[in-house]
Structure 1
Amino acid sequence: MPTTNRTPHDSPSRPLPPTVEESRLTAPVAEQVLTASGFSTLVAEFTAAASTASTLDALHAVVRDHGTRLWESAVRRAGNRPGSDGLDPYDDRPLYWARTATGSVLRSLDNDVLEVQHQRLALLHVLDRTSRGIDRPLWPGAAAGDLRVAVSGFDPYGLDADVRHSNPSGCAALQLDGATFDTPAGRVVVRSVVLPVNYGDFDQGIVEDAFGPALLAGADLITTISMTSRGRMDVEKWAANARGGTPDNSRDQHFGPVGRAARWAQPDQNPEWIGTTLPHAAMVAAGTGPWPVVLKQGIREWPAGSFPDPAALRSNPDPSPGSTAAAGTGGDYLSNESMYRSNRLRLALGADDVPGGHLHVSAIVDPVDPAAITDAAFEEDRRAVVDQTIALVRAAAEAVQAERRSR
C-alpha cells in the first residue's frame, strides 16, 4: 500500500528511462563481467527483493542492504588471492557493472509502494552512496593512536572508446579498504571509496559526502587517486578551480569554475588554486616501481584580469598572483576536481594540519583481443600499477606517522 499522501505538486513515481551509463549494459562486456565474477547473482537477488517489497520501509531496507552488499562483496573479492572466480581479484569492473545494473533495476522498478518520484530518486541516492563505500562506518577497527587514512579511486571511464576499460585507481581503492600497515611509528588504517566520473554527482557533493565525515571524525591523511597517462605516477602539486569540458561517463560537458558543494562548509570564496600538502618528498624517495614517481608541476592560467581572453591563456610552473585557473598540474577533469573539492573542504573544516592531495597513477593497456575482457598481460599490468599505488599510499602514511610521533 502507498505510504505517503501525495499533494497536487508531487510527481507520481513512474519508471525512469535508462541513464547513459545504464544504456551501456547492452554491451556484451557487462554480462560477461557480471557472469564471470558471480555478481550477476547479486543483481538478480536485488531484483527479486525489490519487486516483492511490500512497504516503502521494506524497499528502503532492501536498497540499503544490497548497496552495502555490493561494496562489501567487491572489497572481499579484492582480498582473495588468487581469484576465486573467472576474473582477477584486482578487477574493479564487477562492482561498476553490478552497481549500474542494480541502479537500472531500481530506476525501472514498478512497485506500488513508490508513490512519488522523490522516493525513487532518494532510493537511487541511497543505493549509490552505499555501493560506493560512502555511507557506512568509518574505521570500525581503528584503535587509539592509529593513523587514519581516507582515500578515493574512480569508476572506469572512457567507455565510449572501449567499454572494457578498467580503472586502476578504483582497483587500488578496493584493495586498500580496511587495510592496515604496521610501521615503526605505529599502525595505519585505511578507508576507501570509489567516486563516479560524472559532473552531476560532483555538483551534488559526492566528494564532500565521501571525505567530510572522515575529516570530521579525525582523518590524519586524505588523498584522492585517479588514472593518468601511461608509464608515470604523479603527485599533483596544484589543484585548480576549473573544469575543461571533457565529456564524463554521461557524455556531459562542463566548462568553468568548480561549483559550490551542497550541504557542506565552504570557504567564503573559492580559492583559484590549492596546493598539495602530501609528503611528496617521502613518496618520491620511497623507491616504488615499476613507474617513476614525481611531484608534477606546471599549470595553465589566465593572468590577473585577462579571463576569458583565449589569447591570454598561459602555461606556468606555478600560479601567478591573481590569476584565474584553467588547469592544475593534474589537468582540468574530475581528477583535478576531486583533489580540489576534498581539500577545499579540508580547509573549510579547519583541518589545516591534515595532509591532503592527489595521486595520479599510470594508465593500463586493454586486452589485445578486442573480444576479450581480460588476458594475462592485462592482469599483470594492472597488478603492477595497483601494487605501486598501494606502496605509495603506505609511504605517505608512514611519513605522516613518523612526523607526528617525532613531535
Structure 2
Amino acid sequence: MRLRSHTRVGLVLLTTAALALVVPAPSALAHARPSPGQLPPAAPAFTVEEARLDRAVPQEILRRSGFDTVAPGLARALDGAGSYAAAERVVVRQGQRLWQRAVDRVQGRGPARGDLSRDDDRPLYWARLGMTRELRAWQPEFPLSDAARTRLLGALERASRGQDSMAFPGRDRHGRAVKRIVMTGFDPFTLDRDVRISNPSGATALALDGTVVTTADGPARIETAVFPVRWDDFAAGTVEQALRGPLSRADLFTTVSQGRVGRIDVERFNGAWRGGFGDNENLSRTGLVPVSDPASQPQWTTTSLPYGAILAASTGRFPVYDNTSVTEVPAGATAPVVRP
C-alpha cells in the first residue's frame, strides 16, 4: 500500500473576534476485571472517529511513524491507576507526551521511528484516537461514573492537543521582551472520502509550536494548539475554554485552516454562521454560532491581520489572496447571495 504523506491543499488565515494491517483485539482494549460470578462489562461504544482506526491505512500510518506504541502505553499506565486522581495524572501526562513527541518529530528532534515523512500531522491524530479508545474501554478497579470518564477524556484531549501547555516566557535569554503569538490548527477531516488525508493546518501548528522568530520589533515566540473537527465540541466552548488564558496575553492571534489547492487565502470577513458541513463524527450543524447573547454579537467580523503586508510579502510558489467573498441572505430576502 502506498500512502500519500501530504494533502496538497492551500491554507486559510483567519482571526477571531472573541476568543487493515493489524486490528486491535477486543481483549487488548477491554481491561475488564469482573468479580467472580459477575458478567463482564458490555463492550464500549466507540465513536465514529475511533471506529475508523480499524481500517488498514490508519494502522499503517501508526506503524510507519512509530506511534503504534502510544495507545498500548496508555493502557499499561492506566492499569496502575488505583484512583480517579491517579488516572487523571496518567492521562494528562500521557497526552502531553504525545503532543510533545509529535512536535519533536515534525521539528526534526529525536529519531523519526519510521519511514513516514516527519512533517506529517496524521500520527498525532490517529494515536490520540487510539488513546481515547483505550480510555473509553478501560474498566478500573475503583468506581468510575460516565461523567468521570468524560472528564478524563476531556483532560486527555486538551493535553494531547497542546491546549494546556501554551506558555510564554517574559524575556529571552538576552533579556529582551518577547512578543507572544498564538496560532491554532485543526485535525484532518473528510476521512470517509479519503482516509489517508492530512491537514496542513495541523502540520503547521506542530512545525511552529515553541519556535521563536525574529521580527522588526524583536523576538516573538509562537505557541500553538490543535482543535477537533466536531460541531459538538465547538458548541461546548472548547475553543473559548482553551484560548481564554493565552489570548489575554497574546500580541497576535491567528488560526490556520485547510483551504484551496495551491493558494493561501486571507479571509477578510468571518460570519457567525455554521454552514452544515459534516464533521468527523458525520454530524452536521447549520445555524448561528451559539453565543450567550446573540443580539449583541456582530454577524460579521473583519480580519485584524495585516493582509496588505501579507499579500505584498514573498510567499514562494503559493500565492496569497485577499478573499473577500461572502454568502449572505440580505435583509428582507430569503435566498442566499454570494458577494465578491
How does 1:28-47 map onto structure 2 within 5 Å? 28-47=56-75
Partner of 1:273: 300
Using the TM superposition, give the Cα deviation of residue 44 of structure 1 relative to its aligned residue in structure 2, in angstroms: 1.2
How does 1:157-236 map onto structure 2 within 5 Å? 157-216=189-248, 218-236=249-267
With the length of structure 1 as denominator, give the TM-score of the two structures.
0.69
Structure 1: distance between partners of 2:169 and 2:44: 37
Structure 2 unmatched ranges of 5 or more: 1-40
Give yes or no for contact 1:142–1:189 (8 Å, CA) kept in 2: no
Structure 1: distance between partners of 2:171 and 2:221: 7
How does 1:69-84 map onto structure 2 within 5 Å? 69-80=97-108, 83=112
Using the TM superposition, give the Cα deviation of residue 170 of structure 1 relative to its aligned residue in structure 2, in angstroms: 0.4
Q: Deviations over 1:242-297 (max 9, x none)?
A: 11111110000111111127xxxx78622100100101111111111211101111
CA distance 1:77–1:220, shift in 2 (3 Å): same
Give the count of matched residue pairs: 296
Partner of 1:153: 185
Letter of the structure 1 residue corresponding to residue 100 of structure 2: E
CA distance 1:137–1:300, shift in 2 (3 Å): closer
Partner of 1:324: none
Q: Give yes or no for the alignment of 1:136 onto 2:168.
A: no
Structure 1: distance between partners of 2:278 and 2:179: 37
Structure 2: distance between partners of 1:253 and 1:293: 30
With the length of structure 2 as denominator, give the TM-score of the two structures.
0.83
Identity %: 40
Give yes or no for contact 2:166–2:224 (8 Å, CA) kept in 1: no
Letter of the structure 2 residue corresponding to residue 211 of structure 1: L
Q: Secondary structure at the match of 1:284?
A: helix
Provide the alpha-carbon RMSD of the alignment: 1.9
Structure 2: distance between partners of 1:267 and 1:17: 35
Structure 1: distance between partners of 2:43 and 2:149: 9
Q: Secondary structure at the match of 1:188?
A: strand
Structure 2: distance between partners of 1:142 and 1:14: 53
Using the TM superposition, give the Cα deviation of residue 115 of structure 1 relative to its aligned residue in structure 2, in angstroms: 2.6
Structure 1: distance between partners of 2:170 and 2:185: 21
Q: Deviations over 1:68-105 (max 9, x none)?
A: 11101111111117945311110001100000010000
Give yes or no for contact 1:51–1:110 (8 Å, CA) kept in 2: no
Q: Secondary structure at the match of 1:274?
A: strand
Give yes or no for contact 2:329–2:336 (8 Å, CA) kept in 1: yes
Q: Secondary structure at the match of 1:160?
A: coil
Structure 1 stretches of at least 4 aligned residues deviating more than 4 Å after TM superposition = 81-84, 140-144
Q: Give yes or no for the alignment of 1:27 onto 2:55.
A: yes
Partner of 2:314: 287
Structure 1 unmatched ranges of 5 or more: 1-12, 318-407
Structure 2: distance between partners of 1:235 and 1:114: 50
Q: Deviations over 1:161-211 (max 9, x none)?
A: 010101111000000000111223200100001111110111111211232
Q: Give yes or no for the alignment of 1:86 onto 2:109.
A: no
